[in-house]
Structure 1
């Protein structure tokens, strides 16, 4: 495996030993509602993930198996989305996660994060190749179905709510409300899901960023002020791990570009 781009910020604040990881677990996993893993090898993989040691987290998680596989898939998906510089490599990494997560979902059909990470990876891959092309390949239905399964299995999965809301918003943004209906996309449903995600994980920067993007996609320029307020709130969030730091920095960069 080629050497991955390092997490670009100081990870000291996001480095948790086993006791600290358990203590902060509920807050760290407010987005994905992942249960505390009993296996110590899986705990180590998750600690590496939270510290931004994404490549090491993948290696450790794949070796650990079980709950470690979820840590590996999330680490690879987040790395690919935020830090991988080559678009070709990024898409390949996302497809690999989607395939591993799909196999995990078949083996553990009640594992909400197997379904979620399959959908997350496919969703980001779809954005990379273009949403319209992804819809033509039938990926839209696969993403939507996997996210709905994740929410059915774990109704408190804030990140699955965000991703499903984004599915509705992106499809309508790219193909319009009428054609969007044929893909199962609905503006009111998308807006409701964004709001639910914000209630489920009120400390989330990414919920605010995605909600801001969704408001503009679904309701246009008239929601620009609301979107800017959400971005400002996201930029002011206090990150608890590497992924949250990347989300906060993304929001800050967006505000500086305006």
Structure 2
């Protein structure tokens, strides 16, 4: 069954190999992904940035392990934002996690292998419930992969966001005491991670959205005004590709709610 199409203007985020290379640092401030040497992988990334997620995933997988970064990112972003079936969404996250585990063995120094592992498992956990996921040991796997991603790529803004969310969600679900003693979750550490992510990627809408969510989980209603301000900033961010557009639209939806 074909994937759901990107719902916004399809010609809006079309890059050429040359224009992609020029915009690469800004587009990949979040994931610290190096520009690909292979022309075929450049085409896969062009498809990803245009919102052709299924095409990007297929082109990436056609390059084996070297194409896993773009394939896993395309699959994860598609599953998170556009897949309507909860069952299919969870299956896609499981596929990504399995590929990442394979990639970690083959490319142990590739930060993408760890980040997308954590992202897929984290979204899977949200789908089945955080408490259930913690009982299955998923939380420790998410934390270990995020820590490794940051170790391998200290400027990986998205991994910092992931760590912030890890601390916030665990404290929100099991409380500060059990969260700290059992899972190493700390409020101050979570807030620090969100702030670091914004410093590394100041243009990021999703960093603001997740920081806002984290603030409410960690601090409650007293931080609601600050959270709303972050949503407003996120909604006003300029999207340079399909993923960023989905992030901006998410912020706008949060404000409407």
Secondary structure, counterpart of 1:37 in structure 2: coil
Report the alpha carbon displacement of residue 102 of structure 1 after superposing the two structures with TM.
Answer: 1.4
Partner of 1:57: 56
Q: Is the 8 A contact 1:58 1:75 kept in 2?
A: yes
Distance in 1 separating the partners of 2:232 and 2:78:
24
Q: Map residues 59-208 of structure 1 onto 2, 5 A cutoff.
A: 59-181=58-180, 182-208=182-208
Report the alpha carbon displacement of residue 69 of structure 1 after superposing the two structures with TM.
Answer: 1.6
Distance in 2 separating the partners of 1:122 and 1:102:
11
Report the alpha carbon displacement of residue 67 of structure 1 after superposing the two structures with TM.
Answer: 3.6
Distance in 2 separating the partners of 1:138 and 1:199:
31
Structure 2 portions without partners, runs of 5+? none
Distance in 2 separating the partners of 1:210 and 1:11:
26
Secondary structure, counterpart of 1:240 in structure 2: coil
Q: How many residues get paired?
A: 256
- Tell me: CA distance 1:37–1:66, structure 2 relative to 1, closer, same or farther (3 Å): farther
Partner of 1:234: 234
Secondary structure, counterpart of 1:140 in structure 2: helix
Distance in 2 separating the partners of 1:179 and 1:132:
12
Report the alpha carbon displacement of residue 66 of structure 1 after superposing the two structures with TM.
Answer: 4.1
Query: TM-score, normalised to structure 2's length?
Result: 0.98
Query: TM-score, normalised to structure 1's length?
Result: 0.98
Q: Is the 8 A contact 1:43 1:68 kept in 2?
A: no
Report the alpha carbon displacement of residue 19 of structure 1 after superposing the two structures with TM.
Answer: 0.5
